[in-house]
Amino acid sequence: MPNIIHIPGGEARSFLLKSGELLKVTDVEGKQVADFIAISFHKKDEYLSTAHTRTMNSRLTVMKGDQLYSNYRHPLLEILEDTVGVHDTLYPCCDPMRYKLDFGVENHRNCRDNFAQALEEYNLDYGFIPDPLNLFQNSPLNADGTFANFTEPESKAGDYVVFKSLTDLIIGISACPQDMTPLCGYQITDIKAEIM
């Protein structure tokens, strides 16, 4: 029977994923970005690196069959299933300064603070948080390489990604609280994680 982790909209959770286990991440209501990070349980300075994953797979995004690589170029996860196929590897977590500089808003919930809170039990703090794989995020590029305006995710209720863990990992998932752009369809909803 799967172990289910409920991630309320705008919040984050962390948990251990053991080598060989499968992880299914589901967009419960649709159009909700899930910032996703993975850190080696046995070597805390090794983590999922979107930059290394891009270069190792020779593309800007990820898809079914891809492996996700660490900052040491070790494969950490493999994507076994993906019902959407549109994710982002370029954007960092939203953080307090993002909301202050771009929207003039103080004290808005954000993924970086979410992760720092969720990872406290593993003695990992705000300064350590790596750039995430942004599941379900639809952030196209213009022909000249500049960022296009955010577009709502293509994910619908029940869409999911299934990963296979290739080593013992600490996983963090934040149901992104960005409600000031179309990034999450202006309505923040829940994410479900299932360890199988």
pLDDT score recorded for residue 1: 61
Q: How confident is the model at residue 40 (pLDDT cuts 50, 70, 90)?
A: very high
10 has pLDDT over 70: yes
Average pLDDT in the 123-129 region? 90
Q: For 79, what's the count of Cα atoms within 13 Å in the CB-facing half-sphere?
A: 23
What is d(CA 157, CA 127) in angstroms, rounded to the nearest whole number?
Answer: 34
Q: Which residues of 21-30 are buried (b: 16+ CB within 10 A; e: fewer)?
A: bbbbbbbbbb
Q: How confident is the prediction for the chain on average, in pLDDT?
A: 95
Backbone angles phi, psi at 33, to 5 degrees: -75, 140
Average confidence (pLDDT) over 67-90? 97
How far apart, in Å, are the Cα atoms of 1 and each of 4, 18, 194, 196?
Answer: 9, 16, 10, 7
Tell which phi-psi region holds residue 52, choosing left (phi > 0), alpha (psi between -120 and 50) or beta. alpha
- Scan for tokens 């479900």, then name that residue: 192
Which pLDDT score is estimated for 150?
78
Question: Would you list the domain boundaries of the chain?
Answer: 3-140+147-195
Of 141 and 5, which is predicted with more confidence?
Answer: 5
Residue 193 has pLDDT above 80, yes or no: yes
